[in-house]
Structure 1
Amino acid sequence: MNDGARWKTGRLSVTLYDFFVQNRVLARPAARLLWDYDIRHLHQAIAAQDPSALTLDIPCGGGIAVRDNPRHVGVDLSWTMLTRARRKTKTLLQADIYALPFPDSIFDLCVTYNGLHCLPDPATAVHELTRVLRPGGTLRGTTLVRNTARRTETLYTFMRRQGIFGPSGTLTDLRTWLTDADLTDIHLTPNGAMTGFTARRPRPR
């Protein structure tokens, strides 16, 4: 199975992932054990989102960051994830992150939580997210990065062989993806094998 293909076609693995990530009692020890990550950082980032901002949430998964708000658009490639997210909102769409069905410069905020490391080509995905982001808008997300520790790197390699993860990259690669998309005000917050990031699409001078 190709990089990340299991997220599109899988059902059991997708459902199990969504169950754990949305169960705060289980998610905290699991994230710490697997990736040495304090998942409260993710919850804080989600809570800080402006509900008035026109927001693209991709991959929205089962709806961990989804809000019942018509200005929050959840997008995923997996029907299984979208079916689970429908418990929270109907503002959902199945689409490919590499070819978003939106015009240029429309969203105030694009969020991509725990998604880039599942993709075959995260750099291209960042460029596409930037395309639909209005000047002055913000891209925010979290992603696993490579080469943080031997144990997590071994686990990452195993997950990639199972078709669950893509190639991802290091912390330096993540900064390069954002910079090459002409994003500015880049802030990276590493925590274990996970890194949170924010960046802004600059306004024309």
Structure 2
Amino acid sequence: MTGEASAREQFPQTADRVTRQWSKGNFGARMYDFIVMHKRLAGPLGRIMWHNEMGDLYADIAELGDVPTGSEILDIPCGGGVALRGLRSDRRVRYVAADISPFMLDRARAEAARRGLADIDFVHANVNGIPFADATFDLCLSYNGLHCFPDPQRALAEMVRVLRPGGRLRGTAVVAGAGRVPAACVSIFQRADQFATVGRVDDVQRWLAGAGVIEPRIRRRGAYVLFSGRRDDAGKDSSPAEGGSDV
């Protein structure tokens, strides 16, 4: 058996373990959701754990207020609804919040209700098989999800598939190679089955290119990256040479 075949066989097992962990609503899942929902808490903890104050995450979410009226947006995994804070009540969009964890979907529903957002569609979905047709969305968000996926490139390819030609992808993720403290934190979360595949910046670049993302941009601060890109206007795969990074 080749190493590649062995890795493929491990993906379902890892995915099952990670899914069960995030679906339990246990201490780890609740703590993550509580921290990310409170910027003043996430900043200091992010600085200690990831050498990053998480400002890029909240700044990117704030830009959702500028999305054109009528846009269709997919947020996967939506988690407890952290991105909902970026929506404006006077900007009518179709917003689909999807997650494989029923616990997180319940948290996101509660967050939407707290914010008075009534027009959110909540969907139980596996990122490896997003239950929407090709070319459905104008924008796909994936905040703090990539490091939870056993096969990040496959997940990204699904996100690109459901984007319309020219549609944009934006997200954040934890990456490896930023020092001993972040590495120790990654190891703890992987042993707890809350993280799956954590790559380096060049891995994220490769996953984006392999998924068909063109004009990819990656900004790294510590062990945390903000990434973006778009689907080709003609729906074609991108070249690995396109785009760049800021690391």
TM-score range, shorter chain: over 0.9
Q: Which structure is richer in relative contact order (CA contacts within 8 A, separation 6 or more)?
A: 1
Deviation string for 1:136-179 (max 9, x for gaps)? 00010000111121221122112111111002211000000010
Q: Which SS does the other structure have where 2:83 is aligned?
A: coil
Q: Tell me, yes or no, if the aligned pair for 1:145 and 1:194 is still in contact at 8 Å.
A: yes
- Is 2:101 the counterpart of 1:71? no
- The code of the aligned residue for 1:75 comes to A
TM-score by length of 1: 0.94
Aligned equivalent of 1:13 = 28
Q: Distance in 1 between matches of 2:27 and 2:187?
A: 21
Match of 2:132 among 102, 121, 125: 102
Pairwise CA distance, 1:70: 5.4
Pairwise CA distance, 1:91: 1.8
Q: Distance in 1 between matches of 2:68 and 2:81?
A: 15
Pairwise CA distance, 1:51: 5.5
Q: Distance in 2 between matches of 1:79 and 1:51?
A: 30
Percent of aligned pairs sharing the same letter: 38
Deviation string for 1:6-47 (max 9, x for gaps)? 113343321221111101221111111111112121111011
Pairwise CA distance, 1:201: 0.5
- Is 2:167 the counterpart of 1:137? yes
* RMSD value, Cα: 1.7
Q: Distance in 2 between matches of 1:199 and 1:120?
A: 21
Q: Tell me, yes or no, if the aligned pair for 1:141 and 1:197 is still in contact at 8 Å.
A: yes
Aligned equivalent of 1:62 = 80
Q: Distance in 1 between matches of 2:72 and 2:50?
A: 31
Aligned equivalent of 1:4 = 18
- Is 2:22 the counterpart of 1:22? no
Q: Which SS does the other structure have where 1:98 is aligned?
A: helix
- The code of the aligned residue for 2:18 comes to G
Q: Which SS does the other structure have where 2:82 is aligned?
A: coil
Aligned equivalent of 2:205 = 175
Q: Which SS does the other structure have where 1:166 is aligned?
A: coil
- The code of the aligned residue for 2:139 comes to L
In the superposition, relative to structure 1, how do residues 51 and 114 fare at CA in structure 2: closer, same or farther (>3 Å)?
Answer: farther
Match of 2:60 among 45, 53, 60: 45
Q: Tell me, yes or no, if the aligned pair for 1:15 and 1:80 is still in contact at 8 Å.
A: no
In structure 2, list runs of 5 or more residues that go unmatched: 1-12, 237-247
Match of 1:84 among 90, 107, 120: 107
Q: Distance in 1 between matches of 2:187 and 2:154?
A: 22
Q: Which SS does the other structure have where 2:219 is aligned?
A: strand
Bigger Cα displacement from structure 2, 144-153 vs 193-202:
144-153
Aligned equivalent of 2:7 = none
Q: Tell me, yes or no, if the aligned pair for 1:11 and 1:80 is still in contact at 8 Å.
A: no
Aligned equivalent of 2:240 = none
Q: Tell me, yes or no, if the aligned pair for 1:55 and 1:71 is still in contact at 8 Å.
A: yes
Q: Distance in 1 between matches of 2:60 and 2:96?
A: 17
Bigger Cα displacement from structure 2, 56-65 vs 3-12:
3-12
Aligned equivalent of 1:154 = 184
Q: Going by fraction, where is helix more abundant, 1 or 2?
A: 2
TM-score by length of 2: 0.78
